Structure 1
Amino acid sequence: MATLSIHFDPAVIARLVSASTDDTVHVTLALGGGEPPVKAAPVIPHGPLAGLMRAGLLKPDTVLTFRQRRANRSGRAVVTADGQLIVDGHPSPFPSPSKAAEAVTGNVINGWTLWQTPDGSTLDQLRQELDAS
């Protein structure tokens, strides 16, 4: 029977230990045959968030949130290196802010004006900043 051996970098272990119950931690596994790991090619963002990411206005692993008080709803998503959003409670990433917001609210909604960065800026405000530069 084959044996599966998983080795984690100490930084990964430290991140897992410090994660709260609300955090989403992404771990990528690669198959190897004992040879040194192959350096992965850099991930290039694509899709609607790519421009913000290339400009440095939005970074991978940024946590986006929203709160709709009247509807008593809130959402949390993490930006992936390729420019998608992983929404808490959903197994697959979403290609756009609006699709991610729709997954949480159940309604067609403008995710650009809904999702906020940790400093309170909306994605739409970041997009306007990009357009102004």
Structure 2
Amino acid sequence: MATLSIHFDPAVIARLTSASGDDTIHVTLSLGGGSDGATASPVIPHGPLAALMQAGLLKPDTVLTFHQRRANRSGRAVVTADGQLIVDGHPSPFPSPSKAAEAVTGNVINGWTLWHAPDGSTLDQLRQKLDTQ
């Protein structure tokens, strides 16, 4: 019978143990890197966020947030290595900032101007930086 062995980085274990019951934890498994010397191929971002990621303006595992005071709504999403967004409370990633924002707000909305990076920049502001480079 085949055996499956899963090894987690200590940072992943720390995140799992500190999570509350309301947190959504996403774990990505990559095949390869076993004793046969095989290595997993790097993940290449695609989709709307790809250019920002390739320019180094947005990195995998970056947490994006927004807060709409008037609607008393907020959202949190994590950028995946392939350029999608994992929104808290949703099982599948979203291919674009606007689709991710729509999943939280329930309305068609411009996710480029809604989501903020940790430094406070919107995705649209990051995209404008890319255009001036």
The TM-score, its normalising length taken from structure 2, stands at 0.85
Aligned to 1:39: 39
How many residues matched?
Answer: 131
Letter in 1 for 2:103: A
Task: Tell me if 1:82 matches 2:82.
Answer: yes
Query: How far is 1:20 from its partner?
Result: 4.3
Give the 3 Å change call, closer, same or farther, for CA 81–31 of structure 1 in structure 2: closer
Q: Any gaps of 5 or more consecutive residues in structure 2?
A: none
CA distance in 2, matches of 1:91, 1:63: 17
Task: Tell me if 1:102 matches 2:102.
Answer: yes
Query: How far is 1:43 from its partner?
Result: 0.2
The TM-score, its normalising length taken from structure 1, stands at 0.85
Give the 3 Å change call, closer, same or farther, for CA 89–104 of structure 1 in structure 2: same
Give the 3 Å change call, closer, same or farther, for CA 49–16 of structure 1 in structure 2: same
Residue-by-residue CA offset, 1:27-62 (whole Å, 9 max, x unaligned): 234568x84473110000000000000000000000
Structure 1: 4+ residue segments shifted above 2 A: 1-17, 19-32, 34-38
Root mean square deviation of aligned Cα: 2.3
* Range with greater deviation from structure 2 (85-94 or 23-32): 23-32
Aligned to 1:54: 54
Task: Tell me if 1:114 matches 2:119.
Answer: no
CA distance in 1, matches of 2:132, 2:29: 40
Give the 3 Å change call, closer, same or farther, for CA 3–43 of structure 1 in structure 2: closer
Letter in 2 for 1:115: W
* Range with greater deviation from structure 2 (35-44 or 85-94): 35-44
Letter in 2 for 1:53: M
Give the 3 Å change call, closer, same or farther, for CA 23–117 of structure 1 in structure 2: farther
Aligned to 1:66: 66
Give the 3 Å change call, closer, same or farther, for CA 35–43 of structure 1 in structure 2: same
